A and B are shown apart, each in its own frame.
Chain A
Amino acid sequence: MPQGDSARSADRRDADRAGDGAQPRDAVARLADHAAIERLASDLLPALVARLSGTGLGELEVREGEWRVRLRRPATSGHALERSAERPGRSQRAGREAGRDGRDSRDPGREPGREAGRAAGGQPASPSSTGAHDDSHRHAPLVATSPAVGVFRARSDLRSGTRVRAGERLGVVDLLGVPQEVTAVGEAVVAALFVEDGDAVEYGQPLLALEPVQSPEHEAAPQAVPVG
């Protein structure tokens, strides 16, 4: 099994000490090594650590002569980095996922979650339910999220201002030839499209913003119609 960097450099040092076929290193050279390590530890490492933390980098490697220093940001929880499977950027991922699930992001550096509706496709429409009953939330926007990884195909007549009914098909996400429907969770007006027709989208990625409307004939909460 191939060895890591630290193992390799340890071997080199062991070989040097043992004088194992390699050039014997005299005391002067060893002292120089120790001095170099000291400099490394006291000067270089703090600076590198500071640089690493200040940026979004996950890993930093510095080489000088025979020496190599690699700093690696400790792996934060998978959730902190992933948070919703969006390609556009990690901070956006955090925002969308946190909003979608109603949970706080575990990584404090991420954007706060936005208010979001449930994923399209037959799931209960709880945000729109509260919107129907509570006047103060009647204009809370819903977000239609992608039901799958794939390519988004918008309904051709869909644009900002289009009025849709509960369960109405907004488009599909094409997954290797299998279309998964994107449906409206409640009666609403399309407020914005976050992606364009033909964009690759990820599971849970926000696709459209919908402004729920309260129509006089709806006494009960609108319910998502499962689309088979």
Chain B
Amino acid sequence: MFRRILIANRGEIALRILRACRTLGIEAVVAYSEADRETLAVRQADEAICIGPADARRS
């Protein structure tokens, strides 16, 4: 089983994956842009990493 997963999704999908990771005891790392800084998945992640501004071309 994985020890750690990077979640590149956003929103509800990211949250669902995150919760599944919790259930399985897998560490979840969420990559996000500035636009999603305050979202639930980012706040709930074991580790969250900001990879750029909101503009999709730059993140």
Interface residues of A (CB under 8 A from B): 2, 4-5, 58, 70, 72, 75, 77-79, 81-82, 84-85, 97, 119, 147-149, 180, 202-204
Is the Cβ of A75 less than 8 Å from the Cβ of B45? yes
* Known interface pairs A5-B25, A147-B58, A203-B59; A78-B52 also in contact (CB < 8 Å): no
Is the Cβ of A85 less than 8 Å from the Cβ of B23? no
Q: Which residues does chain A contribute within 8 Å of B42, judged by CB atoms?
A: 78-79, 82
Q: Which residues does chain A contribute within 8 Å of B43, judged by CB atoms?
A: 77-79
- Cα distance, A84 to B49, chains bound together (Å): 7
Flag whether B47 is at the interface (Cβ < 8 A).
yes
- Cα distance, A148 to B34, chains bound together (Å): 12
**Chain B interface extent, by class:** 20 to 34
- Cα distance, A5 to B1, chains bound together (Å): 12
Interface of B is mostly: mixed
Please give me the residue from chain A that is nearest to B45 by CB atom. Answer: A78
- Cα distance, A75 to B23, chains bound together (Å): 13
* Known interface pairs A81-B47, A81-B48; A148-B25 also in contact (CB < 8 Å): no
Is the Cβ of B46 less than 8 Å from the Cβ of A75? yes
- Cα distance, A203 to B47, chains bound together (Å): 15
Residue among B23, B25, B49, B53 with most chain A CB within 10 A: B49
Is the Cβ of A149 less than 8 Å from the Cβ of B1? no
Is the Cβ of A148 less than 8 Å from the Cβ of B48? no
- Cα distance, A81 to B24, chains bound together (Å): 21
Please give me the residue from chain A that is nearest to B50 by CB atom. Answer: A85
Please give me the residue from chain A that is nearest to B22 by CB atom. Answer: A75
Q: Which residues does chain A contribute within 8 Å of B24, judged by CB atoms?
A: 2, 4
Is the Cβ of A148 less than 8 Å from the Cβ of B47? no
* Known interface pairs A4-B24, A4-B25, A180-B58; A203-B46 also in contact (CB < 8 Å): no
Q: Which residues does chain A contribute within 8 Å of B1, judged by CB atoms?
A: 2
**Could you tell me the distance in whole angstroms from the C-beta of B19 to the nearest C-beta in chain A?**
12
Q: Which residues does chain A contribute within 8 Å of B48, judged by CB atoms?
A: 78-79, 81-82
* Known interface pairs A58-B46, A147-B58; A78-B30 also in contact (CB < 8 Å): yes
Is the Cβ of B58 less than 8 Å from the Cβ of A82? no
**Could you tell me the distance in whole angstroms from the C-beta of A119 to the nearest C-beta in chain B?**
8
